[in-house]
Amino acid sequence: MNVANHVLTKRQTVVQSCIHLAFYIFLAAGLLAVGYAGYIIADAGAYQAIQLPKFSHDVPIVEPHLPRIGEPVGEIEVPRLALKAVILQGDSSQVLRRGVGHLPGTPMPGEPGNVALAGHRDSFFRPLRGIHPGDIITLSIDTGTFHYKVDSTSVVSSRDVGVLRASGRNELTLVTCFPFNYVGAAPNRFIVHASEVDPHETVVNSEPQ
């Protein structure tokens, strides 16, 4: 074998080794990404399973208090959409990873004003794609259960905070990113507007579809 062939063979060997090394690096990275995603889903599911039963009651059980960031606030349910999740205080990425977030500075359920809740479009609030006027939303907290009927939905810019303004009634606003199937940081927000109603009105549009 002449020198040129030897050099060529050596280069080919090096290239093949690099390809094999890159393959295993990408394989390991893929397995780590899948494992992390699985952990996130499992952690959220386990947290929901532990916290949801704490709000399965129909009467007040404690005196009202202002939860700290990350503390459970209560439970949200939209029966027709089979949506049910724990509400946590705050809107940080860690809070929204584990549940629906109650936006600090907005009233608690049952208080006058506009209660605002936020959730990820690809997890807890994904069913909101199918919500429509007349649907019933139930919020259960330690001080009682409150019912809201959906008035309307809208799509606004991510910078539009006007949707959180109160109009003097007991209201509820749900916020999630939009479009629902957008890849990356979505440019808009999907908004659900609802008003508090008497519990007897929850018979309409409350059955799962």
CB atoms within 10 A of CB 175: 24
Average pLDDT of the residues in 159-183? 92
Domains within the chain, CATH numbers bracketed: 56-203 (2.40.260.10)
CA 23, distance to chain mean position in Å, is 35
Strand 170-178 with 113-118, pairing: parallel
Assess contact for 87 and 78: CB atoms under 8 A: no
Q: What is the C-alpha separation between 127 and 197, in angstroms, rounded?
A: 22
CB atoms within 10 A of CB 111: 13
* Res 75 pLDDT > 50: yes
CB atoms within 10 A of CB 12: 10
Percent of the chain topping pLDDT 70: 70
Average pLDDT of the residues in 113-123? 96
More confident: 29 or 114: 114
* Res 98 pLDDT > 80: yes
More confident: 157 or 36: 157
Q: What is the C-alpha separation between 26 and 208, in angstroms, rounded?
A: 43
Look at residue 72 in the predicted model and tell me its pLDDT. 95
Average pLDDT of the residues in 74-90? 97
